[in-house]
Amino acid sequence: MYDIVVVGAGMIGSAAGRYASSIPNLKVCLIGPDEVTERNIDDPHDVFGAYYDEGRITRSTDPDRVWSILARRSIDRYREIEKLSGIKFYEERGFLSVGTVGNAYIEQVQQCVTEQGIRCNKDVRKLKEQFPYLDLPRNDKWIFEMSQAGIINPRRLVNAQQKMALKNGCDIVRGIVNKVTRCVDNNGDYVMRIQTDTGEECVAKKVLLAPGAFTASRDLLGTDLVPDVYLKPTNVCLAEITESDAQMLRSMPAVTYFGKGNKGWWDDIASNERGNSGFYMLPPIRYPDGKYYLKLGNCPEFQGNNDIQTAADLKTWYCLKDETVLSKALGRLIQTLIPGVKMKSFKPDRCVIVETPTSRPYLDMLHSQLGLVTGGNGWAAKSSDEIGRLAVGMIMGGIQDEELTADMFTTRYKMRSQSKL
């Protein structure tokens, strides 16, 4: 009998497994599949992780105060996690927000910087001199987060969290949970029964669900209600560059842009009725194939109305190997943004973002023995450590926090009949 079983071993679930197992005398199990070596539509494996990558942006300058707090707390613990696990996953490169003056995004970032006291440089002329290789609009507002911002390696972060969880005595089971049910044991007590795809079963006093986009694709909730979320497919383009160019760009920060952009930027990319769009771009990262890539993704709110509707759609998207029209457009945009660097090749990648109507994560109890954490909204990687910590606090008795209250993370539900997953 486990005290807590965490279902889902991605960034948030692995953090929760580590925090739960650090509580004295608590027996904890973390269940989730290994990363598949190749995503194949003909393979029966149909659960994938959003952490299958080498780079994610980390920063405290978020438009939403709650996300800023979640990020700041997580970032403050990165070096401790690296030290305790022996796994390096964090690189300070700085973070540059750029946007059209008056644009809601850049004004919200400015407000966040002021309220949170984040150390930034907003001198466009000096920043252009610091990053001469970036062809970004000079007349836009630039806000450079100077410290404790940059990039993290999500694969290594997951490995670090799981390594510490194991040291704490957490059992880690490699598998996919197909069903979670509440039942009565021989003593007349309510318990949670967890069944995996391999036929294994375990019993727990409480279960924390953290399976991300796959929350509704299995029988995990024990109800006709499912979380009200949108599964947004996201396109990414990886541009291969030479090692010498990667060294030339060694001072390059992570970048996010929202606004009107330069002429031609949005010709093949969705924009809103005001002609604004957005992207994020990471500095050069060396991938497992030994090559250096610049990564650029279109911000999810400008992906168009193409939410994933069924479990089959979800698998198909993760297994898609061909370039899309948008991924090709992103490749052309990279060349425009860094014109002095030769791109050797381009390849697409993709992910799925779990968006909530509140634009904040869900952290809630379905009942006294079943908790749920989901809804990264494209911002959770950098904040996953704090979200996992709060999730454990929630399932152990409730979120007790002076800045973040439970009502900020209340789950909204819809009938399962409204979701085909």
Q: What is the pLDDT of residue 61?
A: 93
pLDDT at 277: 85
The band of 328, judged by pLDDT with boundaries at 50, 70 and 90, is: confident
- Encoded amino acid at 186, one letter: N
The model's confidence at residue 274, banded by pLDDT at 50, 70 and 90, is: low
In the chain, the percentage of residues whose pLDDT exceeds 90 is 76
How far is residue 298's CA from residue 277's CA, in Å, rounded to a whole number? Answer: 8
Residue with tokens 């984040």: 118
Distance of CA 259 to the CA centre of its chain: 23
pLDDT tens, residue by residue, 19-76: 999 999 999 999 999 998 888 898 888 999 999 999 999 999 988 999 999 999 999 9
Return the number of other C-beta atoms located less than 10 Å from residue 302's C-beta: 17
Q: What is the largest CA-CA distance in the chain?
A: 72
Question: In this prediction, what percent of the chain has a pLDDT beyond 70?
Answer: 96
Q: Is the pLDDT confidence value at 183 over 60?
A: yes
Where in the chain are all domains bearing CATH 3.30.9.10? Answer: 95-146+230-355
> CATH for 95-146+230-355?
3.30.9.10
74 near 382, Cβ under 8 Å?
yes
The reported pLDDT for the residue numbered 33 is: 94
Task: Report the SS3 class of residue 296.
Answer: strand
Would you state the pLDDT for residue 323? 76
Q: What is the pLDDT of residue 276?
A: 80
User: Is residue 56 helix, strand or coil?
Assistant: strand
- CB 17 within 8 Å of CB 172: yes
Q: Is the pLDDT of residue 324 over 80?
A: no
Let me know if 368 is exposed, middle or buried by CB neighbors in 10 A (0-12, 13-18, 19+): exposed
Return the pLDDT at 141.
96
Among 114, 98, 95, residue whose Cα is nearest residue 106:
98
The residue to which tokens 């760009």 are assigned: 249
**Number of CB atoms found within 10 A of residue 138's CB:** 10
Quick check: 300 pLDDT over 70? no
**Helices 65-85 & 104-116 angle (0-180, nearest 10):** 60
pLDDT tens digits, one per residue of 330-359: 889 999 999 999 999 999 988 899 999 999
Backbone angles phi, psi at 273, to 5 degrees: -65, -15
Distance CA 113, CA 135 (A): 24
Number of H helices, E strands in the chain: 9, 21
How far is residue 113's CA from residue 38's CA, in Å, rounded to a whole number? 41
Say if strands 370-374 and 201-209 run parallel, antiparallel, or are unpaired: parallel
What pLDDT was estimated at residue 145? 97
Domain with CATH 3.50.50.60 in the chain: 2-39+47-51+155-226+358-418
The pTM (predicted TM-score) of the whole model is: 0.95
Q: How confident is the model at residue 306 (pLDDT cuts 50, 70, 90)?
A: low
pLDDT surpassing 90 at residue 202: yes
pLDDT value at 136 more than 70: yes
Kindly give the residue spans of alpha helices, DSSP state H, lying in 269-344: 311-319, 325-337
CB 379 within 8 A of CB 62: yes
Q: What is the CB neighbour count within 10 angstroms for residue 295?
A: 25
Tell me the per-residue pLDDT of 228-258, one tens digit each, with 9 for 90 and over.
999 998 889 999 999 999 999 999 999 999 9
The kind and range of the H/E element at 191 are strand 190-196
Above 90 in pLDDT, residue 299?
no
DSSP 201-240: EEEEEEEEE--GGGTTSSB-SSSSEEE--EEEEEEEEEEE
Distance CA 62, CA 200 (A): 42
Q: Tell me, what's the pLDDT at 81?
A: 98
* Overall average pLDDT of the 141-169 stretch: 97
**Confidence check: pLDDT of 271 > 80:** no
**Pairing between strand 177-184 and 345-355?**
unpaired
Q: What is the pLDDT of residue 286?
A: 97
Band of residue 415 on the pLDDT scale cut at 50, 70, 90: confident
2-39+47-51+155-226+358-418 to CATH, choices 3.40.640.10, 2.160.10.10, 3.90.1330.10, 3.50.50.60: 3.50.50.60
Rounded to whole angstroms, the Cα distance separating 84 from 10 reads 19
Q: Write out the H or E segment, with its range, that includes residue 413.
A: strand 413-415
Of the listed ranges 95-99, 195-199, 310-314, 326-330, the least confidently predicted one is 326-330
**pLDDT score, position 266:** 81
Answer yes or no: is pLDDT of 302 > 60.
no
Quote the pLDDT of residue 359.
Answer: 95
Q: How far apart are CA 416 and CA 23, in angstroms?
A: 35
Q: State the sign of the Cα–Cα–Cα–Cα dihedral 211, 219, 19, 411.
A: positive
Residue 301 has pLDDT above 60, yes or no: no
Retrieve residue 36's tokens: 């598949």
pLDDT class of 269 with cuts at 50, 70, 90 = confident
Q: pLDDT at position 307, please? A: 73
Q: Is the pLDDT at 217 greater than 60, yes or no?
A: yes
3-class SS letters over 111-166: HHHHHHCCCEECCHHHHHHHCCCCCCCCCCEEEEECCCCEEECHHHHHHHHHHHHH
pLDDT tier at 410, thresholds 50, 70, 90: very high
Residue 236: count of CB within 10 angstroms of its CB: 20
What 3-state class would DSSP assign to 49? Answer: coil
Q: What pairs with residue 172 in β-bridges?
A: 30
Of the two residues 62 and 152, the one the predictor is more confident about is 152
